Structure formats: structure tokens, C-alpha cells
Amino acid sequence: MTTSEQTVEHDRPHQGGWGEPASRAQLWRIADDLRRRAGFRICAIEVRRSDDMMEFVAIAGDDPDVRELEGQSSPLDAMYPAVELGDVVGVFTFVPWESMTQEAWDRIEPYVVVPEGDAPSSSDDWHPQDMLVARLFDGAGRLRAFVYFDVPDSGLRPTYELLTAMSADLDVSLQAVITTIEREEYAAGIRLATGARVVVRSAASRHGLGELLRVAGEELHRAFRAEVLAVDVFGEALTMHPPAAVEVGAPPLHPALQDSARACWARQRVVLVDGTRVWGDDDLDAQHRDELVALLAAHGWGEVVIVPVGAGDEVLGMLAIARAVGSAAWTDDESSAALDVGQDLGRAILNARASQREREAAEELRRVDDYRAGLIATLAHELKNPIGVVAGHAEMLASLGDVEGLPPAALVSLEAITRGADRLATLVDDLMTLSKVGDPSRELDAVPVDLRWVVTSVVEQATLAAAQRGVGIVCATPPEPLVVLGDETSLTSVVTNLLTNAIGYSDQDGCVRLSLWRQDDHVVLECADEGIGISEDDRTRLFTEFFRSTNRDALERPGTGLGLTITQRIVERHGGRISVDSELGVGSTFRVLLPIAEPPEAIVVTW
């Protein structure tokens, strides 16, 4: 007696649900060897699939009716009631037909085929409904296969002594069955896992959606050994692999296939179309069987598998996998792997969409920033000449007043005009500088610069202005060169802005300390004052364009709100960083770190 699926329908075709042809052929050779050595006409190997269905993968023997059962499947639990009734000897269980209960028979009857044979004449004769099976377990104790023996050459039931001898003699061959099963499943797992890893890596690489579908589709096309593979993101993208392949499903079938994929996502199953019908979706089979079967025939496809793609509760699309006639049959392990891939690909699609939105937002911000920078540069350029004209004429009128005696009120107005023109000129200069240092396309013309010379020069120029405000300057620089690679004019602006701010926000009798030293691979420039300080809230916006302060005392002092912005951008363009520590009413300390240029001995210092 041999088991077979006869009346129960499943979500995949009966034939060829497990393994590669090479593995099936290897198991058939083992089965043929087992039956010859054991002295039986029939030996059948039934493998446990990942869905706990048992499938005949190899049947050796001369009974054509029994051999037609190859590829058929049956529920694992259907056999246990009968097997538990048998006598266990070694790896074998023998169940004489008279020991079979009605309940056990009812469980297995839909799945059994009884070979033709003569009725036994004695209790020692083999009965057609006798069952002899070896249960094979792996190292973890998990059932992996049943090996059935039927129709003994002797016509007699096996004795205890015979079963004991068979267990010993056939042990190596039975272990080879487990080895073949595990090798096949391991190889399939590696192949499918490779495709899944590409999907995950593609998402981690932040590809755009189109690139993600191309890279993942190419790898999945290989992993699933497809003739044609389509990746359909509903309403958004459709890619074919190979690119010139015919589309899997003409446009009239798209809505039905998409509806089927949505239903399959909720149930986590795949749909398979072969040359006879649709498996896994009765509605699709009832409404479109003829069209889908005709599609397969027209393109020489043996199977088409529809795999849902999604994330969470959202169905995003589907994979359509077509295999050519004569190629390896779709397996249950591939169904499980494909569902996992559908989930990985769904998450990757969501990530790609999010990345695409981020890139678009960043590009839009870049365009806005470029427009703003261009506008600032244009305004600064256009304002520079008129401001120069205003300042020049104000100066001329003032000189005329000295000669011709303009009224005092007119001289006051001229002084106000001159101050306003000077402030506007300063603002325009800062705007033009900001435009230059903020332009990413503007390359930095870096040369060796000794910061000691820059600091000393700036201090010399600022000493008089500081003295006029009653502010002292203390400068500390080392005797050895501290050289960085950069633009000397820009680095001079950094020191000037920091020192000018420190002087401007210091009160009378205050002191500003400007220090320069080496710290590991960096040059540190520190500017500390004893001025009005900066609040914690203001420090978070300190380097923002045009932001000065929320402190009324600070706002009463002159400034454009651009100096620190310019300073930060120059420092960052030189590969450095700037930080600030401050306390209201106590003072502020700005610290700049710039990469040092090695070796400093190679720099010739001329001052």
C-alpha cells in the first residue's frame, strides 16, 4: 500500500513541488538500490516539504500505476494514525492490514493506492493492504522522509529477523536519503537567499526606485531561474527582466492579477499558473483560466508564479515569474522564499520612495539656496555702485560746506548720509563675501599659510580701534610656525571677524585674548572676551544668516548679522570646525580648529 493525494486540492500543482531534477534523480537511484537489496518490487520515497505536506519525489518499481503517483502530495498528519498501529523494528514500521482500525483507514483512504495482487492464502503471506515504511529523521530529530516498501519478491510478510537485518544493511543508503534532501534544500536556500540579500543591499544603498527595481529584478531573475521576471509596483513602475522580454500578462489581465496579488498578500500565499489551471486563487481560475493557460502556451512557458509585494498591511505590487516549458518545476521552498522576498522588496520600495522624496527635497532646497545666493550676489553687485555714488557725493557736499559755509543742519544730514552709506557699503561687502564662500562650485585655492602671521597682522590693525573703545588685546602665539593649507584672505577674514566681534561686544576696560596653539593634528585659534555674552537660545542660531541677537544691548551695537555666518563657512571650507562657549554678562569664547599642514619645516617663513 502506497500513499497518494487523490481528492484534496492545495495551493500549488500536484506535480514537482519539491527539489531539482538532479536531486530527484539521485533519490530515484537510491530507491531503486533499496528495493533491489531489500527484495521488493516497489520502493517509494516521500519527502516532507516546508509546508508539512508529504510529496513523492522518487518511485522505483515496475508498476506503472504506482509510478504515476510521483509528485503527488498528502498531509503529514494523515499517516500517523496508521503508522502508530504498527510494529517497530529498527527504523522500520510494519502495519499488517488486520491491525488497521477503521478510524486510521478513514484517514489514509483518500491518499492510498493498493497495488493489484493475489489474496493471501496464509497469515505469513503479504497482503496488498500491508504497509512497510521507514521513518527517517535528521540530526535534530525532525521527520524528513518516509521510505515505503511494497510487494516483496518472496510474497511473504517480513519477519522480525528480516527487518532487523534490513535496518542494518540499508542504514547507509537510508542516511543518503537524508543527506540528499538536506543538500538540495541547502543549495536552494543559498540561491534564494542571495537574491534576497541583493534586495536588502539595494535598499541600504539608497537607490532610487528605478535603480532598485533594476538591480533587484536582475538578481531575482537569476535566483528564481526565470525565463521572464516582471516587477510591477502598482501605478508607479513596471520593469521586465530581461528588458526586451514580453510582458507577463497582457494589459487586460493586469487588474485581475493585481487583485489576486492583493488577496494573496493578506493570506501570505503565491498564485501559480500551469498548463492546466490556476492554483491558489479560485476566483482567478474561474474567471481567467483559459486566458492565462493560453498565455503560457503562446510563449512557451511552463509556469507563471504571482508573488505579492508589500509592507505591513499595504500591498505595493507583485512579482510575476515565468519559467520555460521543461525547466525546473516551482517548489514549495521557493514559494516560502518568494514570500520573504516580497516582504523585503516591499520594505525596500518604501525606503526607496522615502529616499527619493529626501533627494527631491534636498534638490529643491539646493535650487532655492542657489537662487537665494544668486539673488544676494546680484543685489550686492547692483547696490555697490549706487552706494559708492551716494557716499562720494556726500563727501563732495561736505567739502563744499567747508568752503561755502553750508548751514549746520545740512552738515548734520550729510554726516547721517555718510554713516548710512558706510553701513550699506559694509553690508554689501559682507553680502558679496557670503556669496563667494557659500558657492560650492567655487574651488578653494589652498596654499600654505602660517596663522601666526595672520593673527599678528590682524591684531596690529585692530589695536587702535580697540584702544578707542577702551578694550585691551592680549595675543599669545607660539614661536614655531603653525601652518594650514588655505586661502590667506579668507583666513584673515576669520580672525578679523572674531576679533572685531569680541571688541565690539566688550565694554570699556574689557580685555580680549587671542590665542593660537597646536592640538594633535589641528591648529586651534581661540578668541575670548569679557563682554555681554550670548544666551543659550541665541547660541543655537548664532551662525544663521542675518541673525544678530535677541539681547537688546547687543542689538544697539553695530553689525550686519553676517560676520559669524561667513566665518563658519570659511572654516568649514577649510575642513575645520568652529564652536562657542558663552554666558550672559560674563563673556564669550570662540574656538576654531583647522587641520595642520605637515611638515611645517617645509614652509619658508619670511617675516
pLDDT of residue 518: 93
Q: Is the pLDDT of residue 27 over 80?
A: yes
| Range scoring the smallest mean pLDDT among 143-157, 171-185, 400-414 | 400-414
Longest dimension (CA), the chain: 150
Which of 230-234, 253-257, 395-399 holds the top average pLDDT? 230-234
Q: Is 516 or 384 the better-scoring residue by pLDDT?
A: 516
Residues 6+ apart with CB under 8 A from 464: none
Looking at residues 140-167, what average pLDDT do you find? 94
pLDDT digits (tens, 9 = 90+) for 396-431: 766 765 545 667 776 677 777 777 666 666 666 666
> Stretch 153-174: mean pLDDT, rounded?
94
Query: What is the residue whose three cell numbers read 529584478?
Result: 217
Cα–Cα distance, 419 to 188 (Å, whole number): 82
Side by side, which strands form the sheet with 278-279?
237-241, 228-233, 314-324, 301-311, 271-273, 278-279
Phi-psi region of 342 (alpha: psi -120 to 50; beta: other; left: phi over 0): alpha
Q: Tell whether omega for the bond before 13 is within 30 degrees of 0, i.e. cis.
A: no
Residues 6 or more apart whose CB falls under 8 angstroms from that of 311 comprise 343, 346, 347, 349, 350
Q: What is the pLDDT of residue 526?
A: 95
Identity of the highest mean pLDDT range in 332-341, 394-403, 473-482: 473-482
Cell numbers placing 422: 558706510
Higher pLDDT, 356 or 600: 356
Model confidence over 353-404: pLDDT tens digits?
888 888 888 888 878 777 666 666 666 656 666 766 666 767 776 676 554 5
**pLDDT 10s digits, 200-221:** 665 555 567 888 888 888 888 8
DSSP 8-state secondary structure symbol assigned to residue 253? G
- For the record, the C-alpha cell of 256 comes out as 485581475
Stretch among 44-58, 285-299, 361-375 having the lowest mean pLDDT: 361-375
Q: Which three cell numbers stand for residue 363?
A: 534638490
Give the cell for residue 334.
521557493
Mean pLDDT of 564-590: 89
Please, are residues 66 and 58 in contact by the beta-carbon 8 Å criterion? no
Could you tell me the pLDDT band of residue 517, with boundaries at 50, 70 and 90?
A: very high
CA atoms within 13 A on the CB side of 584: 11
* Domains, in order of start, for the chain: 21-187 (3.30.450.40), 193-357 (3.30.450.40), 367-437 (1.10.287.130), 443-595 (3.30.565.10)
Whether 144 contacts 136, CB under 8 Å: yes
Q: Which pLDDT does position 607 carry in this prediction?
A: 40
| Least confident piece of the model among 275-279, 309-313, 445-449, 598-602 | 598-602
Q: How far apart are CA 202 and CA 196, in angstroms?
A: 10
- Confidence grade of residue 593 (pLDDT, cut at 50, 70, 90): very high
Angle CA(552)–CA(556)–CA(557) in degrees, nearest 5? 125
Would you say 18 and 76 are in contact if contact means Cβ atoms under 8 Å apart?
no
**pLDDT: is 416 or 570 the higher one?**
570
Of these ranges, 39-43, 487-491, 603-607, the one predicted with the greatest mean pLDDT is 39-43
Record the cell numbers describing residue 479, joined without a space. 614661536
Contacting residues for 70 by C-beta, under 8 A, at least 6 apart: 15, 56, 57, 58, 59
Place of cell 510494519: 94
- How far is 55 from 23, CA to CA, in rounded Å? 14
Write out the three cell numbers for 359: 533627494
- Compute the distance between CA of residue 458 and CA of residue 567 in angstroms, rounded to an integer: 15
Q: Report d(CA 214, CA 241) in Å as an integer.
A: 8
Residue 206, pLDDT score: 52
Amino acid identity at 114? V
> What mean pLDDT value characterizes the chain?
82
pLDDT at 425: 66
Residue 426 has a pLDDT of 66
Q: pLDDT above 90 covers what percent of the chain?
A: 33
pLDDT class for 605, splitting at 50, 70, 90? very low
Please state, in angstroms and rounded to a whole number, the distance separating the CA atoms of residues 501 and 188.
70
Give the pLDDT score at 318.
94
Burial of 545 per CB tally in 10 Å (0-12, 13-18, 19+): middle
Secondary structure of 23-66 as H, E, C letters: HHHHHHHHHHHHHHHHCEEEEEEEEECCCCEEEEEEEEECCHHH
pLDDT tens track for 83-120: 889 999 999 999 998 998 888 888 887 777 777 766 77
pLDDT at 11: 46
Q: Which three cell numbers stand for residue 350?
A: 518604501
